[in-house]
Amino acid sequence: MQAILALEDGRVFRGKGYGARLERTGEVVFNTSITGYQEIFTDPSYAGQIVVLTNPEIGNYGTNPDDDEAGKPYIEGLIVREFSPYASNYRSHQVTDEYLERHKVPVLSDIDTRALVRHLRDRGVMRGVISTSETDVDKLVAMAKATPSIDGLDLAKQVCTKEAYQWTKGDVEERIIAVPHPSVQQISVVTTESVGDRNAPARKKVVAFDYGIKNNILRRLVTSGCDVTVVPAQTSAADVMSLQPDGVFLSNGPGDPDAVVYAQKTIREMAGRVPIFGICLGHQLIGLALEGKTYKLKFGHHGGNHPVKQLKTGKIEITAHNHNYAVDPDSLKQSEVELTHVDLNDDTLEGLRHRTYPLFSVQYHPEASPGPHDSHYLFADFVQMMSEWRK
């Protein structure tokens, strides 16, 4: 089937359609990751966004339940250069086309994604509509212009859990075993879940705020030695502190951090009383809670290949990013807040630490699945902070 992308400025791209037959609107952004497309589909931070993937072929290794970052895809639509209707991978449970059709996500393929990405880099992210049914361009452009902006929207409370729950699963490792057979060599896949020693006295009790939390963050916390309780975004500081946690985690999530006023208030009430670690939206909310300001990037950071520098050591980490907003470093009180990480592409602030409170955060994703894994040490830093705080 045919498909169309119409942008609010009137630019139109036509190609082949896959996935669901419908129209979806959203903010159009691009992601430069080479692999991990299913993790991108199911990242709640992409709520309200149509995603352009710059890697030229997408869908070729299919989909499987282990790679979901949430219970369903959150992208509004997908745009690629070449979309594979077939899957060739021993882990695949369902071809990507069927997976996205089942979850009502339209796909636009066979367009010049380089031209589209260049347009977004030059003009900035903009609202758009992707359609695999409507063909009237004027109607689609008007629909794009009428799409609400993400600016000012609190999407965290829309995507978060409605009830608190316990998360117990750790990292999943797979080993491939070749089994001899008279006529053909069969492949057996053994899956092992790493949960650590649950009886170890060093395990920490962590309350994780769900603003759109990814499953792999929870797996990393468990593997790092934490017993995790996940709570809704609007949970009060009093309710969290009543659980007597060793630490509090603030998750990633979609939307404008300025609009999540209740979370800023909660963080201010907890700061200095319990160790806090924030990622992505959690980092932005910490910045706002510390009386800083946030701003929207021209076209955001989305991809698994962003170089970030540790300011104290000079070490460079290759990191995964997915953020449209950033904390203004000049708005923070340098006497209270230490700047710890910076993006080498555009000098965006990527990490901070409070000089007095047990509190730190990063803008990027140290838990990134399928990678890179340069920043796993941050989870160990969180566990160490909790151990030292109890002393």
Q: How confident is the model at residue 391 (pLDDT cuts 50, 70, 90)?
A: low
Q: How confident is the model at residue 134 (pLDDT cuts 50, 70, 90)?
A: confident
Q: Which domains does the chain have, with CATH numbers?
A: 2-149 (3.50.30.20), 157-390 (3.40.50.880)
The per-residue pLDDT for range 315-341, each reduced to its tens digit, is 999 999 999 999 999 999 999 999 999
How much is the CA Rg of the chain, to the nearest whole Å? 21
Residues 6+ apart with CB under 8 A from 76: 24, 25, 26, 48, 49, 50, 105, 130
Would residue 76 show up in a list of annotated catalytic residues for this protein? no
Q: Cβ contacts of residue 14 below 8 Å, gap of 6+?
A: 2, 3, 4, 111
Query: 119, 301, 306, 365: which is the annotated catalytic residue?
Result: 365
The model's pTM is 0.92
Q: Which two tokens stand for residue 343?
A: 């993006």
- Altogether, the residues listed in the chain come to a count of 391
pLDDT at residue 153 tops 70:
yes
Question: Which residue of the set 280, 283, 302, 323 is catalytic?
Answer: 280
The CA distance from 264 to 80, in Å, is: 37
- Report the pLDDT value the prediction gives residue 200, as an integer from 0 to 100: 52
What pLDDT, on a 0 to 100 scale, did the predictor assign at position 325? 98
Cβ contact 13:4 at 8 Å: yes
Distances (CA, A) of 139 to 5, 74, 171, 226: 12, 25, 47, 51
Q: Do 50 and 27 meet the contact criterion of CB atoms below 8 Å apart?
A: yes
pLDDT digits (tens, 9 = 90+) for 3-40: 999 999 999 999 999 999 999 999 999 999 999 999 99
Residue-wise pLDDT tens digits, 34-64: 999 999 999 999 999 999 999 999 999 999 9
Q: Are 309 and 351 in contact (CB under 8 A)?
A: no
pLDDT at 190: 45
User: Of 369, 163, 144, which is closest to residue 252 (Cα–Cα)?
Assistant: 369
- Dihedral, CA atoms, 228, 234, 237, 242, nearest 10 degrees? -50
280 a catalytic residue = yes
